[in-house]
Chains A and B, each alone.
Chain A
């Protein structure tokens, strides 16, 4: 089945020790997103790639970086994790960019997000 796969599912790191989370997709979607979700909070968009174009959210800390070496893979790098970075990190994909000019393309699900299972990060 086509899907979005995240690894690792659980990651424990020490304060300040770099972490890389990976996401792969077999959906051949153009857009890949990274969300951060803390307990009982809404998923918060960190950044997304539309094909190779990187789009960073204005309030995403510099501590968070991303790479998309090819269509199928996307990585989230946390350079110096702090205690406040403990969260579930969700990778998602969509066929087209959310906000595509015609909302009617959305009727076909073009900008529907498909989420991976998530990577839960614990910082000690």
Chain B
């Protein structure tokens, strides 16, 4: 089992819709969870991070964390074509001192 798993996609949503991106992790002791956006050929850029169970909202983005079920999700409201990118989930495991990244989900927002 991979430490951090994401559906590679592509996930296709129409403009204005809600995009839902999911990530599961294997280490139950994981502490911190990060979502990065990566445009093709570019480096990852942080969207948001979450540490506590529940929801965290930042503009059109909402991160949801459920530690009991070991998943974290990212919701993008009012999706725009400029949101088309690969979204990387990164997890700080409880016993490690490094972030482990998933392979990312490619999001396509269609007009």
Contact = CB atoms under 8 A, between A and B. Distances in A.
Interface of A: 40-45, 48, 55, 57, 88, 90, 97-99, 103-104, 106-107, 109, 111-118, 120
Contacts, number: 63
B31 interface: yes
Contacts of B49: 106, 109, 112
A111 B32 contact: yes
Nearest to A45: B98
B96 interface: yes
Counting chain A CB atoms within 10 Å of each CB, the highest count among B92, B96, B99 belongs to: B99
23 contacts: A40-B104, A41-B103, A42-B88, A42-B102, A42-B103, A42-B104, A48-B98, A55-B97, A88-B43, A90-B43, A90-B44, A98-B92, A98-B99, A99-B97, A99-B98, A103-B31, A106-B31, A111-B92, A112-B34, A113-B99, A114-B46, A117-B42, A118-B43
Nearest to A48: B98
Contacts of B42: 117-118
